[in-house]
Chain A
């Protein structure tokens, strides 16, 4: 069945470091892909999305490119800040059969000042 796999955390980086959080997916058809972020004590909020192959989603300095050939949607940021400390979830939306949104297990990111 459809699934999302993302790198295990926690990930700890120093401020201004480069960030990559890996995400790969398995899906039939052509899903849309998302990154959600959950700050401490809050619900999830959409960070960025891509709806078709080779699309690049971007927001708040974060980027991810929909790579159909490698079934990946890795999240990157060139220079992280302490305020980026949160849990990041990769997700896919598939509408093959009953539409559903599938989340990865989440990656906790901690940034040291």
Chain B
């Protein structure tokens, strides 16, 4: 069974640009969550989508947005990039994000964004 796939794996952008990251969950998983990981702040929750609806949201500015498609694939977008947005962005899928499942998340390998 294929795992969680994130693309691109690495990307470099400059300040002010925008970026879109993609995540394909495990087949049958309806929940997709996004996390930002940095050495200073650790693992921070961005948002969770379930059946195309944002179900939970972390404490990030509106420059960070996401969406989920009918096939459960998800994208996240960061507009007007800042140097501090440099991070590893991790996507995780689960059967039901914990609502009625086991709470187990399956992570992709991440998209490493560098903002210059």
Instruction: Report A's interface with B, CB cutoff 8 A.
Output: 32, 34, 36, 41-46, 49, 51, 89, 93, 95, 98-106
List residues of chain B with CB within 8 A of the CB of A51: 102
A34 to B102, CA, bound (A): 11
Q: Which residue on chain A has the smallest CB distance to residue B112? A: A41
Residue of B nearest to A44 (CB): B107
Decide if B62 is an interface residue (CB 8 Å cutoff): no
Contact of A44 among B45, B98, B102, B105 (CB under 8 A): B105
Question: Is A46 a contact partner of B104 (Cβ separation < 8 A)?
Answer: yes
B: residues with CB less than 8 A from A are: 4, 33, 35, 42-43, 45, 48, 55-56, 90, 92, 97-99, 102-110
**What would 11 more interface pairs be, CB under 8 Å, given A41-B109, A100-B48?**
A32-B102, A36-B105, A36-B107, A42-B109, A43-B90, A46-B104, A46-B106, A93-B98, A99-B99, A101-B45, A106-B42
Out of B55, B92, B104, B108, which one reaches A98, CB within 8 Å? B55
Contacts of A32 on B, CB cut-off 8 Å? 102-103
